């Protein structure tokens, strides 16, 4: 008898056929080389995840332009060299029947300017300005139509590079408060031009980016959207009930799937700490989105085991389930569970410390407290 019939039921995602419905959701590990290219260390990490049995891997965010960065060793995809360095990993995934998706990212006002010296781009004046890291020059600019046109070109260029490198699919990061998500949210977008006002007008920029990518790639690569369904700010911010028309518009412009996430910088603690209330809120948000579209809907957030994934699929909350930290803690979680070796899975503690590593100047990358392959150094302690 098949142990996980829902997880192993075939799924068509755009042009892809997935061998199972678990994907490794994006995790920026800050292990790119000094030019923002795929390093051997980072490729080795992803090969381990690919070999661990999940149906698809979404790489951590790739910055689409040198003017938008967050970490010195974050991945980038804006020139031929970046694309060339991605090729071996993309073909490794294809050869193992585990498609590798590239997530394209513009950090917007949540970026850093330490490495760029450039103003941060925002749809409107940020209400809350994130604290400045030491030595960081920081200023922001409300995007005018020229900025919007320039960023559209950057997304199209990055998508063309992803296609040329052999990416299985592109994911646009339109969640978690970054640029595309900040246009969608009433908390960060208070524009009075054609890019603000109603939910659909706030989605105009994202819809244009999708169209530009289809043009630049001649429709040769599918595009998915990681959609921020809830800023966790209540009525002041993005909420699932505002997004029905946006999801239908994304379907009309040919997006292949919607992958949900929640929270923005001010509320990241909700994404990182799995309280029962927050898990419920995310799940209800995903269910609301799914009710508005016939596209496959996925989400990542607090799924710890294949049993949980199986039940989320069985109750039709989503069509595919992302796991980030659980697969980080044990790259072989899927393969072990499918083989009936659930008790051998090393369980994630969901303490959020891997997320804290990203902002820890004493560390060179993101670590884990469980996985022996990248155990956090002993002397690093969080309160
Ligand atoms: C260290 C770390 C890095 C992350 N990097 C990204 C990223 O690059 N892009 C993104 O969309 N989400 C990123 N996320 C969010 C995850 O994709 C995911 O939504 C979140 O961890 C909740 O899922 P989980 O409970 O399965 O870990 C990151 C999360 C962590 C912990």
CB environment 323-349: b (16+ within 10 A), e (fewer): bbbbbbbbbbbbebbbeeeeeebeebe
Q: How many CB atoms lie within 10 A of CB 72?
A: 13
Q: Is 323 in the pocket of ligand 1 (CB under 6 A)?
A: yes
Q: How much distance in Å is there from the Cα of 123 to the middle of ligand 1?
A: 24
307-319 burial: b if 16+ Cβ within 10 Å, else e: eebbebbeeebbb
For residue 134, pLDDT beyond 90: no
Domains and CATH numbers, the chain: 11-374 (3.20.20.70)
21 lines ligand 1 (CB under 6 A): no
| 216-229 residue pLDDT tens | 999 999 999 999 99
pLDDT tens digits, 90-128? 999 999 999 999 999 999 999 988 778 889 999 999 886
Write out pLDDT tens, residues 220-274: 999 999 999 999 999 999 999 999 999 999 999 999 999 999 999 999 988 888 7
- The pLDDT assigned to 272 comes to 84
Distance 327 CA to ligand 1 centre (A): 11
The answer to pTM > 0.75 is yes
What is the secondary structure of 15-83 as a DSSP string?
TEEESSSEEE---------TTSPPPHHHHHHHHHHHHTT-SEEEPPPEESSTT-BSSTT--B-SSHHHH
Ligand 1 centroid to 192 CA: how many Å?
Answer: 32
Whether the per-residue pLDDT at 138 is higher than 70: the answer is no
Q: Residue 121: its pLDDT value, please?
A: 96
Confidence of residue 131 (pLDDT cuts 50, 70, 90): low
Number of the ligand 1 atom closest to the C-alpha atom of 226:
11
Atom 20 of ligand 1 has which residue's CA nearest to it?
301
């Amino acid at each position: 008898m098949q142990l996980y019939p829902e997880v192993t039921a075939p799924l068509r995602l755009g042009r892809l056929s997935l061998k199972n419905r678990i994907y490794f959701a994006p995790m920026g590990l800050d292990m790119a080389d000094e030019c923002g290219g795929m390093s051997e260390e980072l490729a080795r990490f992803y090969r381990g995840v690919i070999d661990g049995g999940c149906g698809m891997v979404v790489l951590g965010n790739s910055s689409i332009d040198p003017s938008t960065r967050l970490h010195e060793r974050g991945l980038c995809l804006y020139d031929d060299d970046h694309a060339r360095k991605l090729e071996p990993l993309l073909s490794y995934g294809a050869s193992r029947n585990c498609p590798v998706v590239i997530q394209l990212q513009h950090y917007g006002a949540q970026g850093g300017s330490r490495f760029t010296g450039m103003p941060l781009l925002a749809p409107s004046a940020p209400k809350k300005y994130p604290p400045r890291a030491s030595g960081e020059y920081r200023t922001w600019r409300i995007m005018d139509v020229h900025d919007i046109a320039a960023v559209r070109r950057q997304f199209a260029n990055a998508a063309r590079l992803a296609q040329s490198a052999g990416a299985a699919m592109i994911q646009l990061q339109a969640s978690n408060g970054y640029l595309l998500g900040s246009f969608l949210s009433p908390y960060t977008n208070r524009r009075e031009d054609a890019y603000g006002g109603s939910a659909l007008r706030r989605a105009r920029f994202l819809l244009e980016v999708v169209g530009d990518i289809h043009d630049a790639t001649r429709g040769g690569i599918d595009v998915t959207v990681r959609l921020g369904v809830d800023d966790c700010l209540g009525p002041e911010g993005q909420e699932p009930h505002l997004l029905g028309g946006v999801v239908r518009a994304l379907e009309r412009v040919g997006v292949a799937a919607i992958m949900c996430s929640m929270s923005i910088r001010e509320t990241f603690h909700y994404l990182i700490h799995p309280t029962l209330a927050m898990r419920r809120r995310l799940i209800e948000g995903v269910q609301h989105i799914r009710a508005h579209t016939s596209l496959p809907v996925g989400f990542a957030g607090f799924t710890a085991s294949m049993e949980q994934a199986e039940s989320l699929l069985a109750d039709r909350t989503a069509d595919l389930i992302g796991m980030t930290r659980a697969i980080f803690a044990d790259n072989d979680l899927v393969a072990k569970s499918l083989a009936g070796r659930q008790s051998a899975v090393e369980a994630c503690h969901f303490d959020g410390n891997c997320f804290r590593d990203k902002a820890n100047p004493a560390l060179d990358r993101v670590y884990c407290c469980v996985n022996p392959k990248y155990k956090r150094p002993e002397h690093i302690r969080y309160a």
